[in-house]
């Protein structure tokens, strides 16, 4: 009773309650000021520290000064409050100095070409020593990339872009410069004695400086909780670093069992191992890894019959096997059937699953492209079904870069060039580091050229040349663009590019591509107002037109194009088109701008009429 009476006498409860209420109001005001960008984010946790420690001071004030009348401050009160004040001032000074230092880094990054909001999440490293937890490191990395990609304020580099740096030893700032990322996220994973420890680091891309770090530790039975914590902690760090709200729209996983999720991650790891073995050991070793992945996925399906993800991944593995097995087409066909069965099962479970739609569409398109369907009506039906599935897939999930890339190829195949270019551009915008990025850039270049958007075609040609400097196509397109209004016909540079094509190609491919380069060079000389030189070079190129390197006489059509569009030589162009038509009866010459200058020529009219009849 004596203590209670003392507390009442000293008004301790009233003083502490008044302090708590006033502190709460201050916290709300600080939070609103931060939300309106009137205070930096670090002020709120610092205010919470002051608020929490202030409770001790409030209790001491209430105890020693709550009674009525004048009281002296005892020595212990002065010492304790002094120590608390010095500690808080030191913490505040540290936070302010760190904020100012980070401000300098942010200012330097803003002044550079690196955008802080472009985020590269490098693959987390398994530091356990035995590699058994690498599947977790990969899973946390890819989930983090996937979830941060949903934040509209961020430009997150794709996993295809960071994959080459998985074990490269390249410094953070070098990775950032290559990927043009102003912010880099890295991490480590360690599994030990039933516990999983994850370390997360945030780096400034310009300097490579680490400015945030945290560690998370959870039971190995709580991997999904660990996954969510990694995402939330990283989002919080980025919120502080960028000074704006980063809210992750977390996906609701269709699986709650940790062991099933872990099985799928192990399967994904085996699939990646199969891709690695394909490059270094060959198809037999790769297929063994694919078998192990498929077995793990089958176990996952049995454990979680309502989860679509493992079924879709099985379809993707079957598709990959079909591509690796080709040629001959007969070796690819069984895997196409397996993949379609998996895709159909996934869509029976979840009819609008975007990746399942993409896989069914891709497998059907691949089946259409191979000579596996003799009935023309059935071929048309399969193509229409593939197109419908792929288009539905990108409607449901517009970020599916691989689906956009496949659609681009499909549209080009059926001669819808505008649609092909738009799909290729969307694929590249969604993921510039696709495995098929070279093909996507080539379709952008050739599609825009066919649409007479020469300046845009030249721009994408240069992008391709910058990324794939040993791809002969992106060397040759620079020559071709000099035959158009997009580029000045620089003859010295053009001849150097002709030589460069020969340098990058293996000997067996040089003759055909040298003939192509010389044909383009004839167009450049024609545009440079050197018609005699152009004619000489074109005839020199024609000397290389042999059946063993050009059985379908495509080079004759190419020379005809240069003569009709650049050299303004209709007579010779039409003669070459006649030679091409022998191999391609019924071919429609009317759709391409190449033949615009000869369309009214009587012999061209006669040729197109003959083609229409055949």
Domain that holds residue 101: 2-111
- Does one domain contain both 495 and 547? yes
Domain annotation covers residue 453 = no
- Among left, alpha and beta (phi > 0; psi -120 to 50; other), residue 190 is beta
- Does one domain contain both 83 and 152? no
Q: Please give the pLDDT value at position 337.
A: 97
pLDDT tens digits for range 403-457: 999 999 999 999 899 999 999 999 999 999 988 999 999 999 999 999 999 999 9
- Does one domain contain both 65 and 85? yes
Please report, for the domain that includes residue 208, its CATH number. 3.40.50.10610
Helix (H) or strand (E) run with residue 187 in it: strand 181-192
Is the pTM above the cut of 0.85?
no
Domain annotation covers residue 68 = yes
Is pLDDT larger for residue 233 or for residue 301?
Answer: 301
- Does one domain contain both 55 and 131? no
Q: Which of 61, 90, 111 is the last residue of a domain?
A: 111
Domain annotation covers residue 437 = no
427 to 398, 404, 612: CA distances (angstroms): 9, 5, 36
Domain annotation covers residue 451 = no
Q: What share of the chain is helix, strand, coil (3-state, %, to 5)?
A: 70, 5, 25
pLDDT tens digits for range 585-613: 878 877 789 999 898 899 888 888 877 66
- Does one domain contain both 506 and 609? yes
pLDDT tens digits for range 114-172: 788 899 999 999 887 677 888 889 998 998 898 888 887 888 999 999 988 887 678 88
Q: Residue 91, class by beta-carbon neighbours within 10 Å (0-12 exposed, 13-18 middle, 19+ buried)?
A: middle
- CA–CA distance, 40 with 38 (Å, rounded to integer): 7
Within 10 Å of residue 458's Cβ, how many Cβ atoms?
22
Q: How many domains does the chain have?
A: 3
Domain annotation covers residue 381 = no
- Does one domain contain both 596 and 573? yes
**With bands split at pLDDT 50, 70 and 90, how would you rate the model's confidence at 522?**
very high
- Does one domain contain both 538 and 611? yes
Helix (H, G, I), strand (E, B) or coil at 196: strand
- Does one domain contain both 101 and 128? no
Domain annotation covers residue 542 = yes
- Does one domain contain both 528 and 511? yes
- Does one domain contain both 16 and 134? no
Please report, for the domain that includes residue 505, its CATH number. 1.25.40
- Does one domain contain both 86 and 124? no
Q: Which of 55, 88, 111 is the last residue of a domain?
A: 111
**With bands split at pLDDT 50, 70 and 90, how would you rate the model's confidence at 227?**
confident
Q: Which of 406, 380, 384 is nearest to 394 (CA)?
A: 406
392 to 318, 353, 364, 401, 434: CA distances (angstroms): 22, 10, 14, 14, 21
- Does one domain contain both 38 and 161? no
Q: Which of 231, 249, 267 is the last residue of a domain?
A: 249
């Amino acid at each position: 009773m004596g203590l209670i009476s003392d507390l009442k006498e000293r008004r301790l409860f009233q003083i502490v309650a008044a302090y708590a209420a006033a502190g709460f109001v201050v916290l709300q005001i600080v939070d609103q000021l931060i939300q309106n960008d009137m205070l930096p984010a670090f002020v709120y946790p610092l205010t919470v520290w002051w608020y929490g420690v202030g409770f001790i001071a409030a209790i001491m004030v209430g105890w020693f000064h709550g009674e009525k009348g004048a009281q002296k401050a005892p020595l212990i009160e002065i010492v304790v409050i002094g120590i608390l004040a010095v500690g808080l001032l030191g913490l505040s000074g540290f936070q302010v100095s760190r904020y100012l230092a980070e401000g300098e880094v942010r200012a330097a990054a803003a002044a550079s070409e690196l955008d802080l909001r472009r985020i590269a999440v490098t693959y987390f490293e398994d530091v356990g020593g035995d590699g058994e937890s690498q599947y977790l490191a990969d899973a946390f990395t890819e989930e983090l990339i996937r979830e941060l990609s949903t934040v509209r304020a961020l430009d997150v580099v794709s996993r295809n872009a960071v994959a080459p740096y998985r074990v490269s030893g390249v410094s953070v700032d070098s990775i950032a410069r290559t990927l043009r990322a102003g912010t880099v996220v890295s991490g480590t994973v360690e599994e030990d004695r039933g516990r999983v420890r994850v370390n997360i680091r945030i780096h400034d891309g310009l300097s490579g400086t680490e400015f945030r770090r945290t560690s998370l530790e959870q039971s190995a039975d709580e991997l999904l909780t660990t996954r969510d914590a990694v995402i939330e902690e990283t989002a919080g760090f980025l919120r502080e670093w960028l000074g704006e709200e980063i809210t992750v729209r977390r996906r609701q996983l269709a699986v709650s069992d940790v062991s099933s999720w872990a099985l799928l991650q192990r399967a994904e790891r085996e699939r990646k191992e199969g891709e690695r073995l394909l490059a270094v050991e060959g198809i037999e070793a790769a297929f063994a890894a694919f078998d192990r992945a498929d077995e793990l996925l089958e176990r996952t399906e049995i454990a979680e019959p309502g989860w679509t993800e493992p079924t879709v991944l099985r379809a993707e593995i079957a598709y990959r096997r079909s591509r690796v097995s080709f040629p001959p087409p007969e070796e690819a066909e069984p895997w196409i059937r397996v993949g379609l069965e998996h895709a159909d099962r996934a869509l029976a479970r979840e009819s609008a699953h975007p990746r399942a739609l993409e896989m069914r569409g891709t497998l059907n398109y691949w089946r259409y492209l191979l000579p596996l369907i003799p009935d023309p009506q059935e071929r048309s039906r399969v193509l229409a079904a593939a197109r419908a599935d792929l288009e539905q897939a990108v409607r449901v999930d517009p970020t599916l870069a691989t689906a956009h890339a496949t659609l681009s190829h499909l549209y080009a195949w059926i001669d819808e060039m505008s649609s092909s270019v738009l799909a290729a551009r969307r694929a590249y915008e969604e993921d510039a580091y696709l495995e098929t990025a070279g093909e996507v850039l080539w379709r952008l270049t050739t599609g825009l050229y066919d649409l007479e958007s020469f300046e845009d075609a030249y721009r994408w040609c240069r992008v391709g040349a910058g990324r794939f400097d040993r791809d002969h196509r992106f060397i040759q397109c620079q020559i071709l663009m000099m035959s158009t209004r997009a580029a000045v016909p620089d003859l010295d540079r053009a001849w150097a590019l002709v030589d460069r094509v020969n340098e990058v190609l293996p000997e067996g491919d040089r003759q055909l591509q040298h003939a192509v380069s010389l044909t383009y060079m004839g167009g450049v000389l024609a545009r440079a107002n050197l018609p005699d030189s152009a004619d000489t070079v074109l005839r020199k190129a024609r000397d290389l037109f042999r059946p063993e390197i050009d059985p379908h006489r495509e080079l004759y059509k190419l020379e005809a194009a240069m003569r009709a569009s650049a050299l303004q030589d209709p007579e010779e162009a039409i003669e070459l088109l006649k030679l091409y038509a022998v191999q391609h009866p019924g071919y429609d010459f009317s759709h391409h701008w190449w033949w615009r200058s000869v369309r009214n020529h009587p012999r061209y009219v006669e040729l197109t009429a003959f083609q229409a009849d055949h």
